Structure 1
Amino acid sequence: MCSISFLVLILFSTNFFLFSLLMLIKDFCMFIEWEVVSFNSCSIVMTFLFDWMSLLFMSFVLLISSLVIYYSKEYMGGDVNINRFIMLVLMFVLSMMLLIISPNLISILLGWDGLGLVSYCLVIYFQNVKSYNAGMLTALSNRIGDVAFLLAIAWMLNYGSWNYIFYLETMKNSIEMEIIGGLIMLAAMTKSAQIPFSSWLPAAMAAPTPVSALVHSSTLVTAGIYLLIRFNILLCDSWMGQVLLLLSGLTMFMAGLGANFEYDLKKIIALSTLSQLGLMMSILSMGFYKLAFFHLLSHALFKALLFMCAGAIIHNMNNSQDIRLMGGLGIYMPLTSGCFNVANLALCGMPFLAGFYSKDLILEIVSLSYINMFSFFLYFFSTGLTVCYSFRLVYYSMTGELNCGSLNMLSDEGWIMLRGMSGLLIMSIIGGSMLSWLIFPTPYMICLPIYLKLLTLFVCISGGLLGYLISNVSLFYFNKSLNNYLVSYFSGSMWFMPYISTYGVINPPLVLGSVVYKSFDQGWSEFMGGQNLYNKLVEYSQLVYFLHNNNLKIYLLLFVLWITFLFSFFFLF
């Protein structure tokens, strides 16, 4: 089933890519309406929007998912229910397809909720307590956004149609559209894990690594970004754009800082995703939707590769994810390490790799824009932190000696996994330049002073040096980060957001709910309501049953009462 799925998805990906090129060259889009049911004057119509953006995004999603499914053939080879896993992944991809091509809020909701439900099934795939907790946190965090989405659908009733794509231009300054935009922004923030909904993203690492590669590159977390790209007109020159710029900038900074204190390989890469999502959201909130889309696609390529390499390393390390137990992987697993380093350098923005074209352009546009000092600091400092944790990761995993005992079976002999990774390796090298020529046929000409031009390079180099020095110092017995334990704990725990999202939700509301349930539902409400009514009905039915029995005493008693009543009546009148 893996091979068939891989071939079909690759075929569809190629076709969609060619169609997107045609749309770009001809500069047109297709709006297809499919009448599902027509009954008298009532008709249910399904609408699809095919333009260069939706087709290009679908092409990339299908390419990455095909390689992930091919990779899963070996990675999940020991699983008895591998076909069930592949079916879940295909359902996940189908939900994303539905979301991408829908210009209608109702049909988007099908894909949106499909992503939420299938992601829950995939996160709890390894059935243990940790996975269940992570799945529940993921599902409940996303339900907040789903409720906001349903409210937006209700508000769209003011316009006579749910095809939002027709109304964005005409009703940009109306109060209804501001309300709808705010609700859509809230939904996108939960799906793309912006502050204060960030805690579910590292928790979702309980899923199998191929799922993580798919989720963190092009499907679940990018759904919110893609939706906001479609609604980008509402963000320009409004309070929503300003709020989103602040929150996404803080998300970018918080995730970059937290990744420097983390020792779990998958969680470091997850926090890296969170940081890049903050970057996309922040540049989108400034009105540069094409740049956000460009970084979305280029990031998808190297992030999927990064997760697939991490999966191969974890597979060989006998399911250990602690980077302190790794070391010298470049000697034992040269091909996997090469792919891992290319993906890491692309993430850092190494010139002429995929990440460079989008990240460098974003930072130069930020330098050129009219933006406050705080946001400017968050952009550049977070970029430095990205390079810092990337070099720290390379230092711990690639240099020195292996730290997990003498007997090891590390090798590069997972050929199926390597083939899956090699496809993304090529795209991580050439993808950025290809996309920059496609999306921006006229190159951006950004004129800046020399110190602003070199600022990005300086921040990256200093971040890399800092990451190396911190790792080098902390490997000896005096770990400087432990001198300020509270600061390290605060930074490494994502500013206490996981605790607020779990204990903060569990303790006050659920305890209060328990008290209300016991004292009201099972107390006064029962005594004065249903239970009391039931007891009275039982009593009356027993009385009626007793009367209906042919009991001579009752009839005599009734006869005596009747005679007494008659005598008293005649006596009175």
Structure 2
Amino acid sequence: MFSLYLLYFVYLLFGGVLSFVLGIYFNLYSYSVFFDYEFFSINSMVVSASFYFDDISLLFMGCVLMISSMVILYSYIYMSSDVYSDRFLYLVILFVVSMLMLIVSPNLFSILLGWDGLGLISYCLVFYFNNFKSYNTGMLTILTNRVGDVAILVALAFILNSGSYHYTYLVDDFLFSWALGYMVVLAAFTKSAQVPFSSWLPAAMAAPTPVSALVHSSTLVTAGVYMLIRFDFILFNINATLFLSLSCITMLLAGFGAILEFDLKKIIALSTLSQLGLMMMVLFMGDSLVSFFHLLNHAFFKSLLFLCAGLIIHCIGDSQDIRYLGYSISYLPVTCACFCISSLSLCGVPYMAGFYSKHCIMNLLFSSGWDLFLGLVFLASMVTTVIYSMRLVYYCFYGCVGSFSMNCYFEDSVMTSSMLFLCFMSVMGGSVLQWILLIDFTFSLVDFSLLTLLVFAFSFILGYFISILGFTYNSESSFLFSFLGGMWFLPSFSVYFLYHSLLSLSKDSNKYYGVGWSESSTSGKIITIVSTISLLEKALYNNNISVMLMLFLMMFFVIII
């Protein structure tokens, strides 16, 4: 069975490299290809499958395939002792196929198939370990994402007025473009976990760590951002002020939550949420190319963070508490080095992958006439990113062993090879993608490299002191800790106020409708009719002459009339 892991690894890596090379070629020559395969047609109804390949879809598809190949290679060792490792492999492959269908499809109907496939398979992966916690988080995940699925269904009704399901045929003066834009934004907000749908993203950490690396880097949560990149021409027809504010709130909410969190995977998940808010903010500012640039850069170093975290968690007794990480550098040198490199890339240290896209965003904010408030929110996001990254690195390098007395530390060559590849992309990917996408750094009047370094130095020192205080000062009982560390009580609002009320409503509906008057008027009557027929059959079966004569007379009168 495990040979299939290596086989799919080779296939996906080859497909990823091929897609990346084709994306470079398509970008160089401004080339795009539209495929439409007709299965059959009945009168005016045509059943066909459409695929659209351009530089954006091919580059993103290459990114997804390369990361998924590294995740499968990593899982070859990580899931080797799991009883249902074959089920895990097939679910991951179906997950990747659903994402690819969403990427290359220009048809909103087939996009819905990939969109729904991501939601369903993510639900199967979240409760993969079949325990009470994973079941609850899986239900929270799929119910929140169903809101976005309904929005896509409504968008299908609006786009039908244009005469086609293909979004490539839409024009700016489309009559229902504003309604279509709001539906697409709502779907993207649920899938990318923006406020007020943010509670499901940290809860989905119940899935295996390789799945988290795939979900948080290039598949599930980035599907909403990719959809808005594709529908960016419709965003100009709607008022995006509210959505811009919500994305800024998401950045701050996730950043402050990660600073006060002690769960390793949840910190990285909140980091993903903060970066998704940053991508959404840039999208609503009107620059989809810079948002796509940061999306690709983020995919490489975030997948590397999760893979490193998975190996560290295994080595400290399957505990996710960062207070057990102490002095891991002595036992896991390669893993900790990759972990630090990915954290530095996340912070935007020159000249790593994250620096190029964040530098573009800073130039866009301060040199294009945008509100100063957005610039301050972006700086606050940078500060929180450096603080929680410094906090993770501090707990990893701290000179006291915080884990249990007996642990098995190991670094498998297969797992480290996948991490080293992603480490290389976390360092070199930003500059390569900048050359490919032809993003110019010279359009700004002021060079913000010095400002970036000052913000990083200040945040680094602040994060160091916060990490030291984390050992000596326990503030978990304070209201501020509960508010900021609990994502501003958003999970409580989304669970107790929304789902609890809906559960009570469904209970009342079942009481008064399901087993009430509806039951007595439908099922009760049917039972009476069936019992009457059974009595009639019994009478006929016993050769009742009167009943047979009555039926004969009824048939006779019907024929005469």
Please give the TM-score of this superposition, normalised by the length of structure 2: 0.92
Answering whether residue 482 of structure 2 is matched by residue 489 of structure 1, we say: yes
Residues 203-282 of structure 1 mapped to structure 2, 5 A cutoff: 203-236=203-236, 238-239=238-239, 241-282=240-281
Post-superposition offset of 1:134:
1.2
* CA RMSD in angstroms, aligned pairs only: 2.3
Unaligned runs of 5+ residues in structure 1 are 556-573
Post-superposition offset of 1:189:
0.7
Answering whether residue 91 of structure 2 is matched by residue 88 of structure 1, we say: yes
1:380–1:456 CA contact under 8 A, matched in 2:
no
Q: How far, CA to CA, are the matches of 1:388 and 1:368 in structure 2?
A: 26
Matching residue's letter, 1:148: A
Matching residue's letter, 2:229: I
Mark the CA change 1:419 to 1:550 in structure 2 (over 3 Å): closer, same or farther.
closer
1:9 pairs, out of 8, 12, 17, with: 12
The residue number in structure 2 matching 1:34 is 37
Q: How far, CA to CA, are the matches of 1:250 and 1:378 in structure 2?
A: 9
Higher-Rg member (1/2): 1
Mark the CA change 1:539 to 1:184 in structure 2 (over 3 Å): closer, same or farther.
same
Mark the CA change 1:361 to 1:331 in structure 2 (over 3 Å): closer, same or farther.
same
Post-superposition offset of 1:147:
0.5
SS in 1 for 2:50: strand
Q: How far, CA to CA, are the matches of 2:152 and 2:24 in structure 1?
A: 32
Answering whether residue 347 of structure 2 is matched by residue 344 of structure 1, we say: no
The residue number in structure 2 matching 1:422 is 420
1:99–1:112 CA contact under 8 A, matched in 2:
yes
1:474 pairs, out of 470, 476, 482, with: 470
Post-superposition offset of 1:345:
0.3
Answering whether residue 385 of structure 2 is matched by residue 376 of structure 1, we say: no
Post-superposition offset of 1:26:
1.3
SS in 2 for 1:196: coil
Alpha-carbon displacement from aligned partner over 1:84-122 (angstroms, at most 9, x marks no partner): 211111111111111111111011111111111111111
The residue number in structure 1 matching 2:292 is 293
1:294–1:358 CA contact under 8 A, matched in 2:
yes
Please give the TM-score of this superposition, normalised by the length of structure 1: 0.90
SS in 1 for 2:515: helix
Post-superposition offset of 1:45:
1.9
Answering whether residue 69 of structure 2 is matched by residue 71 of structure 1, we say: no
The residue number in structure 2 matching 1:523 is 516
1:214–1:304 CA contact under 8 A, matched in 2:
yes
Post-superposition offset of 1:375:
2.7
Alpha-carbon displacement from aligned partner over 1:395-424 (angstroms, at most 9, x marks no partner): 12221211123323223x311110110111
Answering whether residue 54 of structure 2 is matched by residue 54 of structure 1, we say: no
Residues 368-447 of structure 1 mapped to structure 2, 5 A cutoff: 368-411=367-410, 413-440=411-438, 442-447=440-445
1:381–1:459 CA contact under 8 A, matched in 2:
no
Post-superposition offset of 1:369:
2.7
1:503 pairs, out of 496, 513, 525, with: 496
Alpha-carbon displacement from aligned partner over 1:170-217 (angstroms, at most 9, x marks no partner): 2x2444011011101101111111011111111111111111101100
Post-superposition offset of 1:457:
2.9
Post-superposition offset of 1:528:
4.9
SS in 2 for 1:36: strand
Answering whether residue 190 of structure 2 is matched by residue 190 of structure 1, we say: yes
Answering whether residue 277 of structure 2 is matched by residue 284 of structure 1, we say: no
Post-superposition offset of 1:540:
9.3
SS in 2 for 1:126: coil
Q: How far, CA to CA, are the matches of 1:475 and 1:548 in structure 2?
A: 87
Post-superposition offset of 1:253:
0.7
Alpha-carbon displacement from aligned partner over 1:52-99 (angstroms, at most 9, x marks no partner): 111111111111010110010111110122222111111111111111
Q: How far, CA to CA, are the matches of 2:542 and 2:9 in structure 1?
A: 78
Answering whether residue 21 of structure 2 is matched by residue 18 of structure 1, we say: yes
Mark the CA change 1:534 to 1:358 in structure 2 (over 3 Å): closer, same or farther.
same
Answering whether residue 506 of structure 2 is matched by residue 513 of structure 1, we say: yes
Mark the CA change 1:79 to 1:233 in structure 2 (over 3 Å): closer, same or farther.
same
Post-superposition offset of 1:11:
1.1
Mark the CA change 1:519 to 1:278 in structure 2 (over 3 Å): closer, same or farther.
same
Post-superposition offset of 1:459:
2.6
Alpha-carbon displacement from aligned partner over 1:254-307 (angstroms, at most 9, x marks no partner): 000100111110000000000000000100110111100000000000000000
SS in 1 for 2:385: helix
Q: Which moved more, 1:336-345 or 1:454-463?
A: 454-463
Post-superposition offset of 1:454:
3.9
Answering whether residue 352 of structure 2 is matched by residue 353 of structure 1, we say: yes
Q: How far, CA to CA, are the matches of 1:376 and 1:298 in structure 2?
A: 21
Mark the CA change 1:511 to 1:18 in structure 2 (over 3 Å): closer, same or farther.
same
Alpha-carbon displacement from aligned partner over 1:526-565 (angstroms, at most 9, x marks no partner): 345542564487479769978998999x99xxxxxxxxxx
Unaligned runs of 5+ residues in structure 2 are 548-561
SS in 2 for 1:47: strand
Q: How far, CA to CA, are the matches of 2:83 and 2:514 in structure 1?
A: 46
The residue number in structure 2 matching 1:457 is 453
Mark the CA change 1:537 to 1:315 in structure 2 (over 3 Å): closer, same or farther.
closer
Post-superposition offset of 1:132:
1.0
Q: Which moved more, 1:13-22 or 1:39-48?
A: 39-48
Q: Which moved more, 1:438-447 or 1:250-259?
A: 438-447
Q: How far, CA to CA, are the matches of 1:104 and 1:416 in structure 2?
A: 39
Post-superposition offset of 1:461:
2.2
Q: Which moved more, 1:417-426 or 1:42-51?
A: 42-51
Matching residue's letter, 1:468: Y
1:246–1:375 CA contact under 8 A, matched in 2:
no
Alpha-carbon displacement from aligned partner over 1:513-534 (angstroms, at most 9, x marks no partner): 2123213332333345542564
**How many pairs align?**
545
Q: Percent identity?
A: 48
Q: Which moved more, 1:229-238 or 1:334-343?
A: 229-238
The residue number in structure 2 matching 1:133 is 136
Mark the CA change 1:273 to 1:536 in structure 2 (over 3 Å): closer, same or farther.
same
SS in 1 for 2:176: helix
Post-superposition offset of 1:40:
4.2
Matching residue's letter, 1:461: A
